[in-house]
Copies of this chain bind each other. A is one copy, B any other.
Amino acid sequence: MTAVPGRAGSEAPAPIFAALGDPTRLRLVARLCEGGPQSITRLAAGSYFTRQAITKHLRVLEAAGLVRGFRHGRERRWEIRARRLDLARRHLDRISRQWTQRLEALKRDVEDMPEEP
């Protein structure tokens, strides 16, 4: 588990996964992806959560770089930071692909084996 050069600091995907590792935060991210930038009032509508609880979760997502708040008229809205979400997505794609390639190589090796006489 030595450090991997060029993947440290703000580019590391682990803190992104940690932030997504809570059902409410994961749901908030999904709603922002689906519904676009929106206020805490709208995010809280139809949920069991108070505005305070949602604010707390948004702060965790903000610290991981997954969302960002901005002013829209008199309102404060929150939006997804797609680049960070994409970093996590590409990381899972890469390691999944390595695993699949490994399986395929193994399958080829088995197929190339001479049959038992």
Contacts and interface: CB of A to CB of B under 8 A. Distances in A.
The A contact surface, by secondary structure, is helix
B27 A18 contact: no
Nearest to A99: B33
A54 to B, nearest CB: 8
A96 B92 contact: no
A93 B98 contact: no
B30 A95 contact: yes
A1 B47 contact: yes
Interface string A39-59: 000000011110000100000
A112 interface: no
Nearest to A86: B96
Given A4-B27, A14-B25, 15 more contacts: A1-B27, A2-B48, A14-B20, A17-B17, A18-B18, A18-B21, A20-B21, A21-B21, A30-B95, A30-B98, A33-B99, A34-B102, A85-B96, A88-B92, A89-B93
Contacts of A61: none
